[in-house]
Structure 1
Amino acid sequence: MTKIWITDASAYAKTSLTVLETPRTLAQIRADVYYLMIVAADLRDEADEVKDYEYDDTEPLETSTCCLLIKYFGYQLSSDPSDAIEVDMLDLWQGPESRKPDMSRRDKGWLKWLYLTRFRPGLLPEIERLFRGQGDSIHEGYPWQQGYKAYVICEIRNVLYKVPYGYFNDTKSAHDWLSTVSSVEPSDNCHGLGRIRYMDAEGFPSWGTFMTKEVGIAEVPEGQSSPVEFDRVEPFDWPCQVTEFWGIGTDPIQVAAA
């Protein structure tokens, strides 16, 4: 059995829960992961061509990738990352050709082989749902659904917007990431999306995309100690750039096991 740890160097946190075991070789594993990323990239290209920007361009995340590998390729969760081989999704996608699976994407014959050998009934619709920000159900029952989601609260013209973003193992990791957030602003010409600017794990400025249908809206309370009740809304255009925040925090992720 090959034990691997799915990571992403550009991610805001590194979860030790994305460790998998499989009888597949390391070359096959890298091709599996690369296939999932290339399908998402193709979906993005297709959407951009028709000026359809209502998608989550952070997917597939490490956790989503693990879910898909388990469900469609027979991988198994493993509890111990100590001797796992790290598979960095960013390095696999942007790194040197020597670490990409087998051949360059420019080789159309290899690309066709990749699609034919990795085709699984139901996989493409599943990735499409992730791409559209509708993939919460595929995570149900997996351990990373017991973590935390960070949020920033922005005040714009006496209205509070609660913007959730990301997965974290613990509240400390979430607050460490929150300390790097510098702005929340519109996504260029993309209805229903906004952007968060933060520092990535390597210390470089990065952008994260959030879907405004996940944002909560509330009125500013008369006293800051008053409780605030946020209501979810339909997708909307994020109003403006915000660089100062009314508040930050974390919410526990609690999804019942499937």
Structure 2
Amino acid sequence: MYTDKREKRKEDVLVGRNAVYEALRAGHPVDSVLIAKGNNGGPVRRIVDLCGARGVVIKDVSSAKLDAICGGMNHQGVAALAAAHEYSSVAEMLQTAKERGEPPFLVICDDINDPHNLGAIIRTAECCGAHGVIIPKRGAVGLTAAVDKAASGALEYLPVARVSNLTATVEELKKQGIWVYGTAMDGQPFYQTDFSGAAAVIIGSEGKGISRLLRENCDIVVSIPMHGRITSMNASVAAGIVLYEAAKSRMRAGGGRS
């Protein structure tokens, strides 16, 4: 039975130069633009320039990968992954906390690449009363349709900010009196940690954990003691354990929503 290859194209993919250019020009949320290697001149140049003006991430990919992503459609060397939601800003998150009369509670995701993990972390963060999630522009998954699905509606209520430099963002948060908590295997037990007050919790990537620079900027590093033979756990599961401990600390101190 014949199947049109276009049916295999992901719903969040925009295909072709004109489609991508017009989406950018109209201000539609775009997670990233994919350009076939060696195809960034001529008509594609205006797309590159528009991405620069809007701060949209550009990824150079092979033609074979672009073919697979676009499901066989004629992509002309260009495609875009549409963002499931508009990105927010860290300033807006802090303003929300101020308006609610609550100490800021933020979650920072360091290079989370699995959309199901990121979506699950966003969902848990919303359930724990966080004011927002911060992710990096490069080296990590953005707000794709898969992330939106895994978040199960949490993106409708919890803002996500995408920043160029996580380390610089952490340094700025610390200047504003926010304590930064990292997660690593050699930290102090999470259940012995007081998360009350203004807090930002960093969840490391699936494979490497927290980057060196981010760890150096943490005020406290916490761990989840392991009692079995496995020495680590899924990033979103670890996030759930630590974030709920943080939520408990905040509620006991009267700094979180009950």
TM-score (norm 1): 0.26
* Larger helix fraction of residues: 2
* Larger strand fraction of residues: 1
